[in-house]
Chain A
């Protein structure tokens, strides 16, 4: 039969199933296919903290959302157009997020009385399709026996029923790949590699994948195939990349660009562990990874490595930062290069390990005893984690200071197409090890001698010299006790302490001199409202701002990579606008900093539900502020703008 082909400009698909159903892999493969096809895309994996929560239950549901388009998009999308639900729990857990008219593809096989009960259904909603009281009446439901057809398709390989049924995620992937015209070669190549050692599993997965595709092609259930053209992108070579992978590559690049061996001391913690896993594969770059006995030992080893001439790095999430705080203070005091990566998750305490949040900003800023300034850098998207990590390395090495790199769970696991940079274009970082004594001292009798003073500073950066063990004549001792200016010897002198506290702060403030001016996105130049954010809210803020502009209103946007010190022109930029809105996945931490520093009446837009901010709701808030500032009525309802403008 002939199939109809419909053009779409963008689609949001959510794959949902049990934790053991392989939904993350399915979503990831669909993403790779879409990336290779040339769509712009953003992904949102969402999974429980439990490895295998009880099968078939609501807490065990794992999902992967991918938003792909023929144009530049910024978020993983507010609401899925298509839900693939592998069991009743997956249906029930995700139904609330679906807009009216969404397509639902369900695996009927798992809609057993037992699974329905586990998911809290009294009756099978699939039995009520088309009834007057159809609970799924608002949606276009496609019941398909994915498991049954998978088992049938792979029976020639003689697998157990359980193993055969496992390939159902590849059947689903094949079906969706047909539906959206995805290239299949990358997935077949991937499966060949992944299961190279187990031929029957490999063949079963490939067969299930192809069977899913063929089912779409031949069945009358699906009459429409959709086409989403490649998105125009700047010339270059691209790959799809997650934040944790890009961040790992950024750290390796920091090592290559500085000529220093990278030394990671780390303790496993969600959602940062993948950085440890990734870096442990790159020993050929001279990267050492030490899985320490605890968070404190992780940073301790990194500080020791930095003292001896490595680029020390430690990776963790918020609870780990709490444990590392005293050691970060030691790195502040000893003025050693150190990159501290905090992949933020929901808190406080254990909080929401697999969900995202931005609530560690003030911990990064102030979470230490004494006046202990630490520069803070934050990436704004998964691919941007590469540049942000490299920037953190630059600041750490140049200024001899620990630097906090604030990623988050959404950036860590989410992905986007990333234009691969030319290595020649990356900044070089000069570690400038001290090799000679730096101070001429005149004794009482007038004789001169040369000494090494570990706290004699560079006039431009205020950085101290970095002399590493093995350098003859520069033997010295450093530590956590207050130092005498210059010599670095123990000093309890009141005036010296005051001077050193101010000098450490001045050194961090001095970093602002090396920062480029902020890029304010204000196309009309007439905006009265400025939206300012940091970190992973870049996508939702950008999407929200676009909606408001599309409806004909003016709004400006600026996004901060550097949270400490702030860029020099930030104060002047804030002054230009009547209203300043600060969307954050916390209760107003950047707002507090901006208010304190610039006396600006920052207005918070705050969401702490473990999920990225939704662009539509944010746009309403921006619109409200624009209405207020300009004395106009702002209407952003979909009727007044086309939905595609939403992104």
Chain B
């Protein structure tokens, strides 16, 4: 066995090879003729509106955009967008999208998935997509419940949750999707909220611009089976303490503002645990507060920050782009190998086929 030095295909934008439109676009063009069939009040509507509003800004040719989904409420998403799309089978969307993105460099590929689809039945495909760093964006709608099957607990539900399948409370320990993405070598990992369109759109823009697998967890409220799961980060009274905002290059501060107008609480490195901890800024001084570095090649601080997410009822969660680093994408490298091999083998395919099948030890009977 040996290894070979792979050529680095160079840094590019996530949509650099996708043809752009010379016409101004509107959200209406991205709206299909299908009636949207989510429950009234579902957080998916807000995300759909945000995506329909954001795609025209990308300026790509609509026919070069593909949305792929698995199974679940959120996976109906592709039907409502007038792009190419596939509503596939449970958990497998990342694998299908991997095929699309690898086969075609000129497509902008998006995966829409949920907490059950991506983290239970499709967990394997999710981690391997992140590991390979295939050029696509994965939108994980996390409502912390199974909606389409009517209310069982999900792999992100809090322990003790009473649901139809756990009348005495769930004894499953939940996943933290962001922490998981770091373990899977994710190169772009972010979290946003369905109801904050501005933040959601800014994260989507950054995700689309990133070359490789962009992983975006979207907190999304299910008004039917898990209503209020994200109230703490949505209510005006509590959200200042609940949301830990991550902005690259900015000190990580939150909570009610102090006299300077910034959050009175902040994060510092915890020398005892090696993780991060929450402190009163006044107690440690502003200069001690951790400055968020999404481009840090070492993911350990970003991971430590992700651990501040409540695994039980969500009273506290870091929101924003945790990590955004450059790493060669699988699809670019796979295509580069094909280009190299092709350049080394000129000639008509039919002639080369004849040479191939006619190779080896041959003999002729006349």
Contact = CB atoms under 8 A, between A and B. Distances in A.
B98 A300 contact: yes
Nearest to A186: B361
B315 interface: no
Contacts of B99: 263, 265, 290, 300-308, 310, 312
A489 B35 CA distance: 11
Interface of A: 32, 35-36, 38, 186, 233-241, 249, 252-253, 256, 261, 263, 265, 282-288, 290, 292-294, 296-298, 300-310, 312, 326-327, 329-330, 334, 386, 420-424, 469-481, 489-490
B88 A469 contact: no
A296 B357 contact: no
Given A283-B341, A297-B98, A490 B103 contact: no
Interface in B68-126: 68, 71, 78-79, 81-90, 92, 94-104, 106-107, 124-125
Given A239-B362, A469-B84, A290 B98 contact: yes
Nearest to A334: B86
A233 B362 CA distance: 14
A81 B293 CA distance: 75
B365 A293 contact: no
B63 A477 contact: no
Interface residues of B, number: 66
Interface stretch (B3-11, B235-243, B306-314, B347-355): B347-355
Contact of A237 (B83, B84, B96, B363): B363
A642 B70 CA distance: 64
Given A239-B359, A305-B103, A470-B104, 4 more contacts: A297-B98, A301-B98, A308-B99, A477-B85
Contact of B124 (A36, A293, A308, A476): A293
B1 interface: no
Contacts of B344: 284
B274 interface: no
Nearest to A336: B86
Given A288-B334, A309-B103, A475-B82, A480 B88 contact: yes
Nearest to A487: B33
Nearest 9 A-B pairs (CB), nearest first? Answer: A304-B99, A479-B87, A300-B95, A301-B99, A284-B345, A283-B341, A297-B95, A304-B96, A477-B85
Contacts of A293: 95, 124-125, 127-128
A420 B357 contact: yes
B61 interface: yes
Nearest to B66: A469
A265 to B, nearest CB: 6
Contacts of B365: 38, 233-238
B84 A301 contact: no
Contact of A283 (B64, B82, B97, B342): B342
A318 to B, nearest CB: 21
A256 B338 contact: no
Given A420-B357, A421-B357, A470-B63, A261 B103 contact: yes
B15 to A, nearest CB: 14
B89 A469 contact: no
Contact of B356 (A265, A282, A471): A282
Nearest to A476: B84
A86 to B, nearest CB: 25
A378 B104 CA distance: 31
Nearest to A312: B99
A470 B106 contact: yes
A483 B98 CA distance: 25
Contacts of B125: 293, 296-297, 300
B363 A292 contact: no
Given A300-B92, A301-B98, A477 B342 contact: no
B85 A294 contact: no
B282 interface: no
5 contacts: A38-B363, A237-B358, A253-B353, A304-B100, A470-B107
Contacts of B86: 304, 307, 334, 477-479
A480 B89 contact: yes
A234 B363 CA distance: 12
B119 to A, nearest CB: 15
Contacts of B168: none
B364 A238 contact: yes
B62 interface: yes
Contacts of A302: 99
Nearest to B101: A304
B348 to A, nearest CB: 9
Contacts of A327: 89, 92
B337 interface: yes
Contact of B63 (A298, A474, A478): A474
B34 interface: yes
A304 B68 contact: yes
B64 A469 contact: yes
A308 B66 contact: yes
A175 to B, nearest CB: 21
Contact of B102 (A241, A256, A298, A301): A301
Contacts of A301: 95-96, 98-99, 102
A297 B92 contact: yes
B360 interface: yes
Given A308-B103, A469-B64, A477-B78, A256 B87 contact: no
Nearest to A255: B349
A283 B94 CA distance: 24
B103 A304 contact: yes
A263 B99 CA distance: 8
A298 B83 CA distance: 25
Nearest to B71: A480
B56 to A, nearest CB: 15
B165 interface: no
B309 to A, nearest CB: 26
Nearest to B61: A472
Contacts of B102: 263, 288, 290, 301, 305
Contacts of B202: none
Q: Which of B64, B334, B356 has the most CB of A within 10 A?
A: B356
B32 interface: yes
Contact of A420 (B101, B334, B362): B362
A391 to B, nearest CB: 16
A256 B32 contact: no
A248 B51 CA distance: 43
Contacts of B82: 475
A473 B92 contact: no
B352 A469 contact: no
A424 B358 CA distance: 13
Nearest to B67: A477
B362 A238 contact: yes
